[in-house]
Amino acid sequence: MSAITPESGPSYAGILGVGAYRPRRIVPNSEVVDAIDSSDEWIQQRSGIKTRRFADDSETVVSMAVAAARNALEHAGIDAQQVDAVVVATVSHLVQTPSAATAIAHALGTAQPAAFDISAACAGFCHGVALANDMVRCGSARHVLVIGVEKLSDITDPTDRGTAFIFADGAGAVVVGPTDQPAIGPVVWGSDGEHYDHIRTEDWREVVASDKPWMPTLSMKGNEVFRWASFAMAKVAQQALDRAGVTADELDCFVPHQANNRITDAMARSLRLPETVRIARDIIDAGNTSAASIPLALDRMIADGDARSGDLALLIAFGAGLSYAAQVVRVP
Amino acid sequence: MSTEEIRAALADIVNEVAGIPADSVQLDKSFSEDLDVDSLSMVEVVVEAEEKFGVTIPDDEVKNLKTVGDAVAYIERNRAA
């Protein structure tokens, strides 16, 4: 009996480049308050959000992802032809099949890489980074594009007080490839399926059977999710630090999913992060962009000089499912 | 712990989470109306209280804790159990 030749890859992988795309239209709180009988002050107090971006008809899930990916490839100094896999985290690609990833890969001018979407909601980006790390190190791909992209304005009910002011649109991407030193730490991930319906969209069949004039929209049990995210996720973030062998004092940046500034505050407090750790606050003018929020926030911190090449950044993403993933990475 | 000790410890938590003077956290005060503790801060208070007093306060129970007295009574009932 002949043996199967196993695959092998480089010892270590890391993020080689980061890119983002922000939709053109800036939407202040004043534009969303009337439909939910709220106020700018209330929204800022509850979430930290002042403005967000909504994509227009020409800014699609695919086009935003392509723009972000091009920026990430440029930052990494990698040609699209060198990409072996495209992994897209999204919940707002409204075509059930095929995946957004195949269209994105084609538009980028790649050489027929593996391309697929993953459904892990707001936790999707960190799932993608974990997959990419394993893919590179096992030798199944040398360069992986991980993209988080959302057009949540398409699946948000503008009259829902619990979500209308939170969700927004955008895209972020990273290139993961071989590195000389470990640059992506062990992932701590999981799911709390007992509460799988705390954040959800309706079943299409419910919508078709109703008189509702639009597609399924997101709903969220806000207080329950806040409790889980603020406290259970702080413990997961701590485990990701521990598994990477990095102490809070050694950390440079904390880049949690931009779910709500109050969650970020509660997590930072629970983690007892020293004041030297720079904390992502992109949500203030980007809103909650689900799978796109971490790469968007990281891209901005790099642009603003808050994240410098070689810095250690703790990423943690969490959301519908309830699914979560966290890891420490080195900033490219 | 006496009722007053629980109230005082809870007042410290409310102070830490929401920045409200501990002296104003009295049994007859409503969290939302008198003390301006919003629903998210209330969640934080509840989680801190769970740790401090060794009780479990499920999400469904939180909405019944309208006043400081409600919360203190709940903690007293469930600490022994």
ipTM of the complex: 0.78
Q: In the predicted model, what is the mean pLDDT of chain B?
A: 91
- Global pTM value: 0.92
Q: Which residues have C-beta within 8 Å of that of residue B33, sequence separation ≥ 6? A: none
Instruction: Name which of A131, A103, A116, A104 is nearest A19 in CA terms.
Output: A104
With an 8 Å Cβ cutoff, are A227 and B43 in contact?
A: yes
B40 part of contact set with chain A, CB < 8 Å: yes
Among A68, A244, A238, residue whose Cα is nearest residue A148: A68
**DSSP letter (8 states) at residue A159:** T
- Which residue is associated with the tokens 């790390």? A133
What span, in angstroms and rounded, lies between the C-alpha atoms of A284 and A23? Answer: 15
In angstroms, rounded to a whole number, what is the distance separating the alpha carbons of residues A14 and A182? 7
User: What is the structure's pLDDT at A214?
Assistant: 81
Interface touch B47/A224, C-beta < 8 Å: no
What does the alpha-carbon distance between residue A18 and residue A173 come to, in Å, rounded to a whole number? 6
**DSSP state for residue A220 in the 8-state scheme:** E
Q: Are A83 and A105 in contact (CB under 8 A)?
A: yes
Of the CA atoms within 13 Å of residue A214, those in its CB half-sphere come to 11
A25-38 burial code (b ≥16 CB/10 A, e <16): eebebeebbeebeb
Contact across the interface for A222 and B38, Cβ inside 8 Å: no
pLDDT along chain A (332 residues), means of 10: 90 98 98 95 94 98 98 98 98 95 98 97 97 98 98 95 96 98 98 93 91 87 89 95 97 97 91 95 97 98 97 97 97 98
How high is the pLDDT of residue B63?
A: 87
* Catalytic sites of A, residue numbers: 122, 257, 288
Q: How far is A229 from chain B (nearest CA, A)?
A: 11
Chain A residues with CB under 8 Å of B62 CB are 223
A319 closest CA partner among A213, A192, A209 = A192
| Distance (Å, whole) CA A7 – CA A4 | 9
Structure tokens of B78? 């469930």
- Which chain B residues have a beta carbon less than 8 Å from that of A231? 47
Q: How confident is the model at residue B81 (pLDDT cuts 50, 70, 90)?
A: low
Query: Which residue in chain B is spatially nearest to A230 when comparing CA positions?
Result: B44
Chain B residues with CB-CB distance to A222 below 8 A: 39
Task: Give pLDDT tens digits for A124-168.
Answer: 999 999 999 999 999 999 999 999 999 999 999 999 999 999 999
Q: Determine whether the interchain pair A223/B62 forms a contact, defined as Cβ–Cβ distance below 8 Å.
A: yes
Number of Cβ atoms within 10 Å of the Cβ of A288: 25
B12-53 tens-digit pLDDT = 999 988 889 999 999 999 999 999 898 889 998 999 999 899
Residues of A with CB under 8 A from a CB of B: 45-46, 222-224, 226-227, 230-231, 262, 266
For position A77, what pLDDT does the model report?
98
Count contacts between A and B (CB, < 8 Å).
Answer: 23
CB contacts of B59 in chain A (<8 Å) are 223-224, 227
Query: What is the least distance, in Å, from the CA of A54 to any CA of chain B?
Result: 26
pLDDT of residue B80: 66
pLDDT of residue B30: 94
B43 to chain A nearest CA, in Å? 6
